[in-house]
Amino acid sequence: MYKEKKHAYKIFAEDLKSGEKLKNVMLIHGEEEYLVKWAIDSIINKYVSVSTKQMNISVFDETEMSSSDLVTDVCEACETLPLFSDKRVIIVKEMKALSSDSPQAMKDTDFQLLSTCIEKLQDEAILIFSARNIDKGKKLPKEIIKAGREYNFDRLDRKDLASFANKRFKQAEKTISNANMHLLLDETGYFNRESDYDLYTFMNDISKLIAASGGVIDEKAIRELVTRDEDTFVFNLLDSIVAGRKDKAFAQLHNILGDGTDEFQLIGSIVSQFELMYCTKQMLDEGMQVRDIASKLKANEYRIKNIAKYARGFSTDKLSKVLSSAYELSAQITSGLLKSSMALELFIAGI
């Protein structure tokens, strides 16, 4: 008989509630960083009193120190008893050894020291390793999983994502029909291959819908306020361009086109975003506030706030040229002078 696979967030919630299955060594990882943070915060809230958090929580990040120093400091923290709380929580972020066995990731002596620390970890300590990507075939993940428990917070399925939204709408005393829930999930593009739309973005969209709606979440609000996959693409594209990573921008373009995204809809989204950005930039330069700009443009304030972040990184003259290029792009594709993929690549190269 088919048994539905239970998502890791449900297993974690059950383990946390019972307390018996929750190990004091954990590997918490996955694509949904929102859930990774939620799980760690839930552990802290259960075992560390609010007034002693500063004393009983230690956070280590390998991007800020060497692997050897990190191992030494983690082991020292694990040996320190909690003060006026049930547990001391030690969080280790993004260790290279979670995805590599190379000496550059972790020396053998450091691995042995950390393994001993994990094996002899006191009951009053909770040691959490967190990362976005891991390789469970490597030595360190194997050691952690053998001694404790692993939670892989990958993307939600449709049923769980709907449940996630319904819970938050209910808390805000809002209702949404089944048809509009399906519309909401479809509009986000969350289930598209290689989509960058995640639970953080979904939570932001839910907050916008709650703030802008009365007692009922309706179709009009969903279509106006949800950050669709095409909008997310434009924002991610701008992030890459501002960071000087046009190679990444090209990769993002090929990913979204490979998903079967409607090219004309994508171009329309690009033109729409740059039109709004150009107008927003002009008004920002005139000293107007985001709320007033939103009112003037008859646009949602959340969207203008997001657009303004990017508009400040461009001059009005530059945005005018980019917008002219976007209009030309649309005309070239519509007339058949250029293939859409080539025209979009030329557009990105010219920004």
User: What confidence score (pLDDT) does residue 229 get?
Assistant: 64
User: What confidence score (pLDDT) does residue 273 get?
Assistant: 81
User: What confidence score (pLDDT) does residue 231 get?
Assistant: 65
CB-CB contact of 274 with 323 (8 Å): yes
One digit per residue, the tens of pLDDT, for the chain of length 351 reads: 445 578 999 999 999 998 778 999 999 999 999 999 999 999 999 999 999 999 999 999 988 889 999 999 999 999 999 999 999 999 999 999 999 999 989 999 999 999 999 999 999 999 999 998 899 999 999 999 999 999 999 999 999 999 999 999 999 999 999 999 998 998 887 886 556 788 998 999 999 999 999 999 999 899 888 876 666 667 777 777 766 787 888 887 777 776 666 677 777 777 888 888 899 999 999 999 988 998 888 776 767 887 888 888 888 998 898 888 888 877 887 777 777 778 788 888 887
Instruction: Tell me, yes or no, if the pTM score tops 0.75.
Output: no
Residue 233 Cα distances to 133, 258, 266, 323, angstroms? 22, 13, 9, 17
CB-CB contact of 135 with 110 (8 Å): no
